[in-house]
Amino acid sequence: MRHACHRGLGLAFAKAAHALGASKVYAGMRNTEGFDVPGLTPVRLDVTDDASVRAAAAMCQDVTLVVNNAGIVSLMNGPLDQNMDELSRTLMETNYFGIVRVSQAFAPVLAANGGGACINVLSDATWLSVPMLAAYAASKSAAWSVTNALRLQLKSQGTQVVALHVGFLDTDMTKGFDMPKSSPDLVARKVYAGLEAGALEVLADEGTVQVKSTLSSSEPVYFDPSSF
C-alpha cells in the first residue's frame, strides 16, 4: 500500500499507514520546508491549485490509497453574516473543491494500480449545522454529497471510497475549546480498520453516531441541537 496525506489528523493518517506497513507514504502539504518525519515522503500539494494537484499526482504514480484530509474551518455569527458569501467560497475551495480536484487527478492513478481506495474526511457537521459553523457545515455537506457520487462512479474501477465522519479532534484547530475531543491517532487507526473490513463509511465517535441516528426520526437533531 502506498499512501498520499503534515499535522493533526493528516499526520496521524500518514504515521499510521507507515506503522501498518505501507511501502511508501507521501505526506502532502503546501510547504515541505523543514518537514522531516521518518518514513514519510513530503510532497508539495495545495488542494486549491489545479496545477499543484496535477503535479502531485504526476509525482505519485504508485499511490494505491488517497486520503482527502485537507480542511479549514472558521467561526461566524451565522448565515446572515455579511461575510457569509466570502467565507463560504473560501471554505468550499478547500473542503469541497479540494476533494474534487484531488479525486479527479488521482482516480486514474488508483485505477492503474488496481483500484485501491480513497478516504474522504468529513464531519458530524455534515448533518448538524449550527449558526457559528454555517459556512463550514455547508462545505462538509457538499463534500459528503460528492463523496457519495464518487463512490458510485469509482466502483467500476475497483476503488473503495470511504467517508469518515468525525466530531471535534484534539488538534491545533480545536485548541482552546473545552469539549470532548477524539485522538487523531485512534481515529486514523479506526478508519484503516474499517477500510480493511470493506466499510464505506466510518463514524469515528459516539457523538457522530448519535447525530446520524436521528436523521430518519421525526425530530432530527438538526431541528434543535440544544437537545443533543
CATH number for 130: 3.40.50.720
For the cut 80, the answer to whether the pLDDT of residue 6 exceeds it is: no
Question: What is the count of structural domains for the chain?
Answer: 1
pLDDT value at residue 169: 85
pLDDT at 136: 96
Q: How much is the average pLDDT of 100-112?
A: 98
Q: Please, which pLDDT band fits residue 43 given cuts at 50, 70 and 90?
A: very high
Bridge-based pairing of strands 65-68 and 160-165 is: unpaired
Q: What is the pLDDT of residue 227?
A: 75
Of 222, 227, 4, the closest CA to residue 105 belongs to 4
Higher model confidence: residue 82 or residue 4? 82
Taking only the tens place, the pLDDT of each residue in 117-152 is: 999 999 999 999 999 999 999 999 999 999 999 999
| pLDDT exceeds cutoff 80 at 116 | yes
| Strands laid side by side in the 2-4 sheet | 40-44, 24-29, 2-4, 65-68, 117-121, 160-165, 201-203
Assessment of whether the complete model's pTM goes beyond 0.75:
yes
What is the residue range of 126's domain?
Answer: 2-227
pLDDT at 60 over 70: yes
pLDDT of 1 above 80: no
